[in-house]
Amino acid sequence: MAIVNHAKKEINAKIVYYGPAGSGKSTALTYIYSRIKPSLRGDLKSVPAGADNLQFFDFSPFETPLPNGYHVRLHVYTLSGIVTNPATWKMTLKGADGIIIMANPATDHAAETRESVSQLRDFLSAYGVGLHETPAVLQFNSFTSGNNPAEVTATTASLDLSQLSVCSSNAANGEGLLEALTTLSRQVLDRVTVMSEPSETSIVPYPSSETETIAADRFDKSADPHQVMPHTVDSPQVALLSQEVVYEGGTVRIPLDITHGGLLRRLIITVNVELE
């Protein structure tokens, strides 16, 4: 869940690039960092994390504050190269508001991709979170001329990730890297609801047609992807999403959609079931 500091009027969200060694995580971060206006980004840092290497930076996707004065800051993390200690991935993923799953769609990389996604599910499960509950983008990244659509479709189905947005990119020239981050950022910000203390005003996103591309040549746009909508006093409406109820390893997750004052929120009820 994004961290909201009402005193400083700041919204801080964490995005993690996840995937096996050689999937292009560090390349993606370096390229994206180079395309963001220096005035909107912090330093790109690389620090030891045990025997592994953590890379991260933060940036603001908008030059102007939101309508009620709040500022958004996205913090982007990844582990570069071969990760020797799985616990390092687990700690990096802690508190993630969004995940970009990097994968090579080639059939000879299918086994490592399946293992990587399986571990991701385990890491999130340790925090009581399912992959289906977290904003995520499946990014098929190639270092060659492009991706084979048939391989992309087959790999997505085999990973049971058909519910995710899928983006293709080429790490050799940066094609598609910004688009994937833009897609995930939109999903993350769509879930951020800020309650300002004096007026109980919520910030909700504009429709997706207003999406801005996260690139240096687009940051000068004055269009803001948020609008302010006040709460009303009508009774909340609760809908059970029975088709999305998930049972995993003795845990039942029940999603509810709650509509109140024109705003839609998703609530996940987690029930631990003891089997005799």
Note the pLDDT of residue 110: 83
Which residues have C-beta within 8 Å of that of residue 131, sequence separation ≥ 6? Answer: 99, 117, 120, 121, 124, 161
Whether residues 243 and 182 fall in one domain: no
Give the model confidence (pLDDT) of 84-126 as tens digits. Answer: 999 999 999 999 999 999 988 777 888 899 999 999 999 999 9
Q: Which two structure tokens, joined as six digits, stand for 21? A: 């060694």
Intervals of the chain under pLDDT 70: 1, 144-147, 193-253, 255-276
Whether residues 257 and 129 fall in one domain: no
Chain centroid to CA 67 = 23
* Domain containing residue 179: CATH number: 3.40.50.300
Whether residues 223 and 241 fall in one domain: no
Note the pLDDT of residue 195: 36
Whether residues 201 and 149 fall in one domain: yes
Domain encompassing residue 260? 237-272
Whether residues 155 and 249 fall in one domain: no
Residue carrying structure tokens 């997750």: 253
Exposed/middle/buried for 224, CB within 10 Å: 0-12, 13-18, 19+?
middle
Note the pLDDT of residue 102: 93
pTM over 0.95: no
For residue 2, the SS3 value is coil
Whether residues 220 and 198 fall in one domain: yes
Distance CA 156, CA 48 (A): 33
Whether residues 171 and 259 fall in one domain: no
Chain centroid to CA 222 = 24
Q: How many domains is the chain built from?
A: 2
Whether residues 134 and 242 fall in one domain: no
Provide the H-helix boundaries in the chain: 25-35, 86-93, 110-125, 149-158, 177-190
Whether residues 216 and 156 fall in one domain: yes
CB 209 within 8 A of CB 184: no
Distance CA 255, CA 268 (A): 5
Note the pLDDT of residue 207: 33
Note the pLDDT of residue 266: 63
Whether residues 160 and 263 fall in one domain: no
Whether residues 134 and 210 fall in one domain: yes
Distance CA 111, CA 239 (A): 39
Domain's final residue, options 200, 215, 230 = 230
Whether residues 115 and 86 fall in one domain: yes
CB 42 within 8 A of CB 57: yes
CB 24 within 8 A of CB 79: no
CB 255 within 8 A of CB 245: yes
